[in-house]
Structure 1
Amino acid sequence: MKNIIHFRTTLLIIATVLILPLTLDSGTLATEVLIFSLAALGCNLLLGYTGLMSFGQGIFLGVGSYATGLSLLHWQLPVLLALLLTMLIGALVALLVGWFSIRQRGTYFVMLTLAFSQMFYFLAYTMTSVTGGDNGLLNIPRPSLSVFGIELLATATPWQYYSFVALIFVLVFFLLQRVVDSVLGRTLLSIRDNEARATAIGYDIRQFKLAAFIISGAITGLAGGLHAMMTGIAPLTNIEYHISESILIMTVIGGTGNLFASVLGAAFYVLMGDWLSELWPRWLMLLGFLLIAISLYLQQGLFGFSKSLIQQITNRFRPDRAPDNAKQEKHS
């Protein structure tokens, strides 16, 4: 049964990356959807599977942007090696932030992640020789995917780069799905549902929370690196706490506790923001009204709403529905 679910989810993700080019005119916008979907996946691992509401995801996105920018600008690393290094740095930063933050719970945990977010922002702002300060890192190259000097995939045009990001996105989603369905993932769910009981069983919950932080930091750092390559800039705004809020909102909109829900939330946020910005300069107000409506009436997120809607439609057209109704009328 689990293998069937994995197969269906994989097909759904592949269909998603194939549908985006058919429905969107902009390759950059389609790429942005996948990049922020990666960031939302990392956030969902913390919030949906571990029960940790972190306002520090912008740290990993920003650090990932800087790491990729520096490795491509100054060290001229191959693109895959640069992205692997970015994931390693994102994981190490997450290890640092998580090691301190998981020592607190609830409001104090949230405040700690927010404090770290502010601290890293001001570090990036003041370390102009490394990060470029308020100007950010400029002219970040977008090298092609090559192995031993042989070009495997060009990334020069927006749609070529989309293909490159799509391959990475499908691979990361597949691997993360394996993680959440493993013993580690089930243990994280038990910690989310009842931390005291998980502790009583004998689990070292700090170690599991730290593992979730490290994986989340690596994935979000990768998203930051891909974003820097897409725009050619590693801006200071990528490490602001506002980006942490945006990633958290994407995760909640899509629905927590399901990886594909993160893709729905990121796509909704990015595409709706792009559409509303063309209607009105103060489009954030309109987006705010939409978020209020979702919070009030779609508390299970877009994924929960879609699942419920499909279930209702399926039940309505089930072949056995008519006989059941006839039996009920007969008994009455």
Structure 2
Amino acid sequence: MNRPHIQLLLALAIVLLMPLCMQSGSLATEVLIFSLAAMACNLLLGYTGLLSFGQGVFFGLGSYTIGVLLTRWQLPVPVALVSAVLMGAVGAAIVGWVAIRQRGTYFVMLTLAFSQMFYFIAYTATDITGGDNGLLDVPRPAIGVAGYTLWSLQTPWQFYSFVAVLFLVTFWFLRRACDSMFGRTLLAVRDNEERAAAVGYNLRLLKLQAFVISGAVTGLAGGLHAMMAGIAPLSNAEYHTSEVILLMTVIGGTGNLLASVLGAAFYLLLGDWLSTLWPRWLMLLGMVLIVVSLGMQRGLWGLGESILQRLRPGGRKPATDVDPVAEAPTVTRTQQGGQV
């Protein structure tokens, strides 16, 4: 059994074990939702090398799209979710088209500027977003056909099962994308942009494609979060949301989609537990995150791999990653329509 199949089985095991290990269906659902957002961020950071603070834009777009379509237009849930995905993709296309024209610090500043601008728009467009109050009473209507209910979403665990199915489908899709030649080429761009450009790849197109996929998945996560909470709050559009998603990605480990699930679970479950110990639990959480950042540069996933490697009798060091540029197919300028 190859590695992608193993990771898909591990994702399925996580989905099946959480109801057995957790009492709160809402918290379990939140873990899966932010796992989606962290995986989407990992596609940019871990596979493309793009440090984006604009994920909150796509998350907020998904939340507001679901809120408007379910509260004011009473559209079916599948239609509303597809619309949230499309809105996230469109928002990512706009942000990405501008931001990828710069690199490094200027790229980060552009994504942060878009995040701040979107927050201001959401705050002032009260007729659409509800402003500071957000969109209240977002329903969770049952999924049905011709008046027959196929899937009720009323209880937390019923909604969890629905989110779990979407999570597994999305994980499979992202896993296929990362294992494809497209994903290998993104690794080439991440490791050495100049060399990848010299081979003949269209760097802007590749980065924009990664942005659109990431925005679509993040929009789905934002829409599911609004349905879970029953509200599309203004906080979903804050740059703080981008920071949280980025933290989850780094804590879990970049360059591995399943590690994003680990990072989201660690952040949310630790925060939930610390909040019962001390009213100023965010200070404790900050200290834990400092320790994780200083002691585990490869994240929790890398820590687990190191422990397993040490426990393995006669184990040798993991082989270094192959050169993704060398593995990627050679594309000449003639193949791209240019001249040699």
The aligned amino acid for 1:294 is V
Letter in 2 for 1:208: L
Q: What letter is aligned with 1:113?
A: T
Output aligned runs, 1:112-261, within 5 Å.
112-261=110-259
* 2:8 counterpart residue number: 10
Q: CA deviation at 1:38?
A: 0.4
Secondary structure at the aligned position of 1:140 is classed as coil
Matches within 5 A, 1:76-95: 76-95=74-93
2:97 to 96, 99, 119: 99
Shift of 1:146: 2.0
Structure-1-length-normalised TM-score:
0.93
Separation of aligned partners in 1, 2:147 and 2:193: 51
Q: Which residue type is aligned with residue 179 of structure 2?
A: D
Corresponding residue of 1:307: 305
Which stretch of the first structure deviates more once superposed, 123-132 or 78-87? Answer: 78-87
Aligned residues between the structures: 316
Deviates more, 1:82-91 or 1:138-147: 138-147
Q: TM-score, normalised by structure 2?
A: 0.91
Does the Cα contact within 8 Å between 2:309 and 2:315 map onto a contact in 1? no
Task: Give the conservation status (yes or no) of the 8 Å contact 2:275–2:281.
Answer: yes
The CA deviation string for residues 144-173 of structure 1, in whole angstroms up to 9 with x for no partner, is: 122343322211000110000000000000
The residue number in structure 1 matching 2:280 is: 282
For structure 2, the residue ranges without an aligned partner over 5 or more in a row are 317-340
Identity among equivalent pairs (%): 65
Question: Aligned-pair distance for 1:315?
Answer: 2.5
Partner Cα separation in structure 1 for residue 165 and residue 124 of structure 2? 36
Unaligned ranges ≥5, structure 1: 319-332
- Which residue identity does 1:50 align to in structure 2? T
Aligned equivalent of 1:273, options 271, 274, 284 = 271
The DSSP-based 3-state class of the residue aligned with 2:135 is coil
CA deviation vs aligned residue, 1:86-137 (integer Å, no higher than 9, x gap): 1001100100000000000000000000000000000000000000000000
Matched, 1:296 2:306: no
Equivalent pair of 2:96/2:208 in contact (CA under 8 Å): yes
Range that drifts further, 186-195 or 148-157: 148-157
Large movers: runs of 4+ above 6 Å: none
Equivalents in 2 of 1:60, 1:146: separation in Å?
28
- Distance in 1 of aligned mates of 2:147 and 2:171: 28
